[in-house]
Structure 1
Amino acid sequence: MKQHVARNLGLVVGILTVVFMTAPLVLVVLFSFNDSVVMTFPIKGLTFDWYRTLLSRDDFWGALRNSVIVTLAVGAGSTVIGTLAAMVIVRMRPRVSALAMSLFGLPMMMPPLVLALALLTLFSALGVRLSLMTVVLAHLTFTMPFVILIVTARLRDFDTAMLDSARDLGASPWTAFRSVTFPIIRPTLFGAGLIAMALSLDDFIITFFMLGGGNTLPTLVWGMLRTGVDPSINALGALILLATLGTSALALRITGYRG
């Protein structure tokens, strides 16, 4: 009897936790279709007008273009650099490898505000002008640790005997990687890159500090909130949510993650 009650109680707590975590996201999407400017219940009707209003804004398309540039650059850069770092780490001795992983993981463990301040101080000291390039470099700082962790975990299970056989048969290091290593770890690389892109697309704090001018989609949301609140902001939030969740789901699908 006690076990039955405890099981039911755990189920109720789990359901309430899921509802608490997902309800704000559902409301963002729901109110983006509200035909009233006032975002309160009851909702009297549904409309796509707020999406049309958002798409008619010139600053939306500029922010979208900047977000695409940054996201694609971060995805490609973090995958290439993170993979090279992971290939070096797996060949290190265990203690040195653990130390390297700890150092690479520092940006991932730091609060985003502290990391943004540190990077802003660095760029100011070096006299680097803030632009989309500084946003990309800053995003690489906190997305690469995720790529390194994912790729390193995959490479630790990699059978190096196949790579050694290719080298013994006369293959160069690049040919051995292209014909042996890459086809095996390719799903992991694509998945890690997509995760990095999702993290970059959704970031606001670091982008806000690093962006010299213009907007990305998250900073556009902030700018719109400062002038008032209407469902077009929810429409933009829903689009960002869709892109982030879609990218993350695709990454989990490609990497074969099963929880």
Structure 2
Amino acid sequence: MESPSRTFFWQLTGLIFVVFMTAPLVLVVLFSFTGGDIAAFPIPSLSLRWWQALFAKPEFYEALRNSAIIGLSVSAISTTVGTVTALGMMKLSERAAAFVTFLLGLPLLLPALVLAVSLLSFFIAIGLKLGLFTVILSHLLFTLPFVVMIIFSRLRTFDLSVIESARDLGASPMRAFWTVTLPILTPTLIGAALIALSLSIDDLIITFFTGSGAATLPTLVWSMIRTNLTPATNALGTLLLAVTLGGTLIAMRLTRFRG
């Protein structure tokens, strides 16, 4: 049994790390409501002026539209393809399924910059015009593995007897899937889709290289930092935090994530 002093030490260490990790995020949100001209202490007053300045930018709505198109497309495609892939992996042996999981996870092992340059070189080599379509293809490369692993993990604990019962009652394989398998998997599928959406919306490096200047919310943040750094950047950062963290938390809840 650990002594009280040792327990206190580890609790204090954990608290320090939590504060260190969350303090920058808290400051981003706090400075988005400053009434001053710069993001710095002391804050003269609380105001929505920088949110109004953000919403007054025409490029914000273009970036929002592009992020929505890319994110929703990536989410829908990766969830559909990931579900089919996970169902196919269920028919493989354990060793073969582990090998497929390893292959799918290879892009996640590469640094984002290396992956972005590789994709850019590939698209140029095959003569594919850079734009929203190439960004969607690029995002599928790192969102699909997450979706497959989430759905496959749920299928591994799936009670196959309910499907066999439906088949015994005369249901075809397709009808059994739509009436039995899909309703049970729906919370997991929604969670996986939200994770894919959050990953896609939050990406900067791969989007920057493969989008040929296509404006998204992260690239707009980068542009605002380079040109004129104001608390409006904090407002946009807060919006991104709300979308990505909110989507991830809901996904964790739906997929019953436990660590």
Task: Please confirm whether the aligned pair reaches a TM-score higher than 0.5, indicating the same fold.
Answer: yes
Q: Is the CA contact (8 Å cut-off) linking 1:39 and 1:230 kept in structure 2?
A: yes
Alignment root-mean-square deviation, CA: 1.4
- When the two structures are aligned, how many residues end up with a matched partner? 259
Aligned AA (1:31): F
Match of 2:86 in 1: 86
Question: What's the TM-score once normalised by structure 2's chain length?
Answer: 0.96
Q: Is the CA contact (8 Å cut-off) linking 1:32 and 1:231 kept in structure 2?
A: yes
Match of 2:179 in 1: 179
1:1-259 equivalence runs, <5 A: 3-259=3-259
Q: Deviations for 1:23-47, whole angstroms, at most 9, x for unmatched residues?
A: 0000101111111122221111111
Tell me how far 1:2 sits from its aligned partner: 7.1
In the aligned structure 2, how far is the partner of 1:111 from the partner of 1:236? 26
Q: Is the CA contact (8 Å cut-off) linking 1:146 and 1:192 kept in structure 2?
A: yes
Q: Is the CA contact (8 Å cut-off) linking 1:62 and 1:214 kept in structure 2?
A: no
SS of equivalent to 1:137: helix
In the aligned structure 1, how far is the partner of 2:91 from the partner of 2:80? 17
Tell me how far 1:15 sits from its aligned partner: 0.6
Q: Is the CA contact (8 Å cut-off) linking 1:71 and 1:201 kept in structure 2?
A: yes
Q: Deviations for 1:228-251, whole angstroms, at most 9, x for unmatched residues?
A: 211000110011111111111111
Q: Is the CA contact (8 Å cut-off) linking 1:89 and 1:97 kept in structure 2?
A: yes
Tell me how far 1:167 sits from its aligned partner: 3.0
In the aligned structure 2, how far is the partner of 1:184 from the partner of 1:72? 23
Q: Is the CA contact (8 Å cut-off) linking 1:134 and 1:210 kept in structure 2?
A: yes
Q: Deviations for 1:58-101, whole angstroms, at most 9, x for unmatched residues?
A: 00000000001111111111100011111111210111111111
Q: Deviations for 1:175-224, whole angstroms, at most 9, x for unmatched residues?
A: 11101111111111110110110111100011101112330000000111
Between stretches 171-180 and 65-74, larger displacement belongs to 171-180
In the aligned structure 2, how far is the partner of 1:164 from the partner of 1:127? 49
Tell me how far 1:143 sits from its aligned partner: 0.3
Q: Is the CA contact (8 Å cut-off) linking 1:167 and 1:173 kept in structure 2?
A: yes
Aligned residues with identical type, % of pairs: 51
Gaps of 5+ in 1: none
1:129 to 1:10, Cα distance in 2 relative to 1, 3 A: same
Between stretches 145-154 and 105-114, larger displacement belongs to 105-114
Q: Is the CA contact (8 Å cut-off) linking 1:108 and 1:143 kept in structure 2?
A: no
Q: Is the CA contact (8 Å cut-off) linking 2:147 and 2:196 kept in structure 1?
A: yes
In the aligned structure 2, how far is the partner of 1:36 from the partner of 1:152? 50
Tell me how far 1:110 sits from its aligned partner: 1.7
